[in-house]
Amino acid sequence: MAKIVDVAREAGVAPSTVSRALNGDPTVTEEYRERIGLAAARLGYRPNRVARSLRKRSTDVIALIIPDVGNHFCTAVTRGVEDVARESGLSLILCNSDEDDGKESLYMEIAVAQQVAGALISPHRHDADGGALREAGIPIVAIDRRLDAEIDSIITDSRSGAREATEHLLRSGWTRPACCAGPPDVQTARWRADGYREAVRAAGIEPLLAHGTYDRGGGATAAAKLLDGTAPDALLVSNEQMALGVLAELDRRSLRPGTDVGLVTFDDTPWAPLIDPPMTVVEQPAYDLGARATRMLVERIRGEVSEVRHQVLPTRLVVRESSSRRLGPQRLDL
């Protein structure tokens, strides 16, 4: 088994610095904490449980592992987490997994090495179980997505939101709605694709989907595949980063939302009501999601609950002009 001296050698610091970092000593700089955490994760170092029981475990730091803080939804979630954590006397370690299993596992290992009091995680894969965090007995709340293990979770009702958005497109006069779906191994993408399928099948229409990564490139690729195929007249987009790629692809083809193609995307963003035409969105209570998840975690850390809890928050359709079917300029034949 790796020892503190091994971690110190790997990190290039003194063993006393490793000990202080792993015990949450505030005099250790963030740079050294990260270096030591990475070294401990690489070596598979685990603090001796007996020795650790004789020390005061860190009770003032929690970890948040999310896909991409550059995504407006994740930014709002993080703000909710941070505000409640601060109210509860907790500090926050923020980790971007970038939808990468390896990075997600590494950050869980670092959280264990840092002896965090608890962790919030939005897992990449639907079959994730919390790994090292669970093994270390660290309280966890799954946020936005669920873990397979019996762990507290809080999500939004993505399936119903997607179904309502698709039904709105059909009521607005679009007859061939398609779905720019996210990665099939990500829960939120699957739930939204399922909601879309339910709506179109209920209307007697064959589902038409193309999957892409949860970023601009993925949105552009999915839209191009759909538009090069059976030419849908409307698109439901799985998240706001994909929507930027979809908008770029529509512009490249000189297709205008609301006139040539109906368009609805998940997540309201500051730019959504400002573009021309304004974007119809499925609004998720992102800040509330982060705030509630953190309260659940604090209750778990304090031992105030015993049963596993699963909460589902509703979404809200915000209708704007991108989904309202409008006729283009009329030509007069004289």
pTM (predicted TM-score): 0.79
**Structure confidence at residue 49 (pLDDT):** 41
Q: Which two tokens stand for residue 274?
A: 């400002």
**Domain-located, residue 185:** yes
Per the document, the length of the chain is 334
In this prediction, residue 154 carries a pLDDT of 97
Q: What pLDDT shows up at residue 105?
A: 87
Output the six-digit token pair for 47: 């603090």
Domain assignment present for 32 = no
Tally of domains in the chain? 1
134 falls within a domain: no
How confident is the model at residue 322, as a pLDDT?
A: 97
Q: Note the pLDDT of residue 1.
A: 62
Q: Is residue 194 part of a domain?
A: yes
* Inside any domain, residue 309: no
In which domain, by residue range, is 180 found?
A: 158-285+317-323
- Output the domain CATH number for residue 176: 3.40.50.2300
What is the structure's pLDDT at 3? 79
Q: What is the pLDDT at residue 330?
A: 35
In a domain, 329, yes or no: no
In angstroms, the CA 222 to CA 218 distance is: 6
In three-state form (DSSP H/G/I as H, E/B as E, the rest C), the secondary structure along the chain is CCCHHHHHHHHCCCHHHHHHHHCCCCCCCHHHHHHHHHHHHHHCCCCCHHHHHCCCCCCCEEEEEECCCCCHHHHHHHHHHHHHHHHCCCEEEEEECCCCHHHHHHHHHHHHHCCCCEEEECCCCCCCCCHHHHHCCCCEEEECCCCCCCCEEEEECHHHHHHHHHHHHHHCCCCCEEEEECCCCCHHHHHHHHHHHHHHHHCCCCCCEEECCCCHHHHHHHHHHHHCCCCCCEEEECCHHHHHHHHHHHHHCCCCECCCEEEEEECCCCCCCCCCCCCEEEECCHHHHHHHHHHHHHHHHCCCCCCCCEEEECCEEECCHHHCCCCCCCCCCC
pLDDT along the chain (334 residues), means of 10: 83 86 79 87 68 47 92 94 94 91 88 90 78 86 89 96 98 96 94 98 97 96 94 95 97 95 96 96 97 95 89 97 70 31
- Look at residue 135 and tell me if it is in a domain: no
- The pLDDT assigned to 5 comes to 84
